[in-house]
Structure 1
């Protein structure tokens, strides 16, 4: 039987491989040097992977990533333990299972980020620059290397951005059904979908209703098994709004400035040529309405959370779009750029 290797000619495949390769080293190092049990979020998700639902009332419903990691651990845990570094502290096989799941989800998100950027800039080089800015963010490796579920939420958000930009109803539909399972804060993204998605409002209402029923039913089942009240989670969710004052105080402090800088890092230097050439304003104005609402939504999610930088990390796809646009200013086209650079080395 002849094997078809046509996928090797797919740009999506190579973007996925490059994203996976870029993520693995950093995320593995994070897993190796970090004690996951010192992080309360990680403790919750490790517990869910063991089907222990007696966890923090908000996080215990985010079961998709922990369950997939649990399946990987069941199938390959023995092999992972055999390969475990002697310096590793903790359950290596489960940690490795989470790492694989998170790396794959972030790599898939990388494909969608690249498509999102290329749809806007039309340039390969600029799109790769933007993608690299996401992959090299300090939070990407951290979230990919630990037993956390942010990878799925990030993937859903990028699907929303790409789906709205290129009017892809299928991506939007996937986001509607995956989003509530990723994180409850998807509720802040749902209105953006409702008003900007290329799907009739009547159908959207039906899709959101079905999605909500499925999630609510799973919550009832989880609460039944853990003997907890479903309303306790809702009360805890609303209680997050009490964090706004604390978050704003932290934001307008030296530590807050550092947290903001940690999201972009020295990629912010790309603003200098944009300011010198007076193109920054035009780049900002070129953002679509849904992208501005997306930025506002992430800022809102950040201030009701006490983990500012980790939440602001979700802005990186839009920031990557800005970096890509700035870079694309300096090249009239990929072919011309490649030709000019090649002549320098001939």
Structure 2
């Protein structure tokens, strides 16, 4: 006799419930946590986002272990560099905090014509179809799968990186995974609509 009570979900079943996360996804999260602290100081802003949305690909224990190794590597690298250069160990932290002074400059730059051109040049002409799709309620249905909370928070974090670094265009590339996915979905929707309507036929000449 079959029991009507639901069975407890295992790890594999839970991952299937929230979406398929392969071993490659786990390694990607682990690699990001290992390399991120060494790559850039502003990784600290991305860290909460990565820990929360990466928990389904890699559990909390795995994430904390990878992060601990990454932070330890960061501390060791800075220790030997500061020791070799003869600089105080607080110089790195002081330099990182000094980036806050770039925020007013970045805001003024973004409000200028040159800054606007720099923002539009991040993805070039490919920005146009995505903007046109987002401007229409019907068009927003196509990129809807990649316009959730995770992508919204990532956009906010990218803006923070842009303001702190004053490199609007270069930091804007951090949004490339979301943008390219949205562009692909918009292009797919357009192609499906064209295929459904059919291509126009040239009038045949009559004898």
Counterpart in the other structure of 1:260: 119
1:221 aligns with 2:111: no
Q: Partners in 2 of 1:214 and 1:278 — Cα distance?
A: 48
Question: Displacement of 1:326 after TM fit?
Answer: 0.5
1:244 aligns with 2:103: yes
TM-score using structure 1 length: 0.46
Question: Displacement of 1:332 after TM fit?
Answer: 4.2
Question: Displacement of 1:248 after TM fit?
Answer: 0.7
Q: Partners in 2 of 1:275 and 1:307 — Cα distance?
A: 26
Matches within 5 A, 1:249-288: 249-271=108-130, 274=133, 278-283=137-142, 285-286=144-145, 287-288=147-148
Q: Partners in 2 of 1:275 and 1:175 — Cα distance?
A: 30
**Is the contact between residue 223 and residue 230 of structure 1 (CA under 8 Å) also seen in structure 2?**
yes
Larger Cα Rg: Structure 1 or Structure 2? 2
| Alignment: residue pair count | 175
Deviations 1:275-315 (A, max 9, x none): 68643333454224222221111110001112111111222
TM-score using structure 2 length: 0.73
Counterpart in the other structure of 1:72: none
Q: Partners in 2 of 1:166 and 1:229 — Cα distance?
A: 47
Q: Partners in 1 of 2:63 and 2:70 — Cα distance?
A: 10
Aligned residues: CA RMSD: 2.8
Counterpart in the other structure of 1:169: 26
Counterpart in the other structure of 2:47: 190
Q: Partners in 1 of 2:179 and 2:71 — Cα distance?
A: 31
**Is the contact between residue 302 and residue 311 of structure 1 (CA under 8 Å) also seen in structure 2?**
yes
Q: Partners in 1 of 2:144 and 2:134 — Cα distance?
A: 14
Counterpart in the other structure of 2:6: none
Q: Partners in 1 of 2:122 and 2:163 — Cα distance?
A: 15
1:303 aligns with 2:160: no
Give the match's secondary structure for 2:191: coil
Is the alpha carbon distance of 1:277 and 1:232 closer, same or farther for their aligned partners in structure 2, counting shifts above 3 Å?
Answer: closer
Which of 148, 153, 156 is residue 293 of structure 1 equivalent to?
Answer: 153
Which of 315, 319, 328 is residue 188 of structure 2 equivalent to?
Answer: 328
Counterpart in the other structure of 2:11: none
Counterpart in the other structure of 1:26: none
Q: Partners in 2 of 1:166 and 1:192 — Cα distance?
A: 19
Q: Partners in 2 of 1:275 and 1:245 — Cα distance?
A: 29
> Whose helix fraction is larger, Structure 1's or Structure 2's?
1
Counterpart in the other structure of 1:313: 173
**Is the contact between residue 143 and residue 186 of structure 2 (CA under 8 Å) also seen in structure 1?**
no
Q: Partners in 1 of 2:68 and 2:47 — Cα distance?
A: 12
What runs of 5+ residues in structure 2 fail to find an aligned partner?
1-18, 200-207
Question: Displacement of 1:212 after TM fit?
Answer: 0.4
What runs of 5+ residues in structure 1 fail to find an aligned partner?
1-164, 342-346
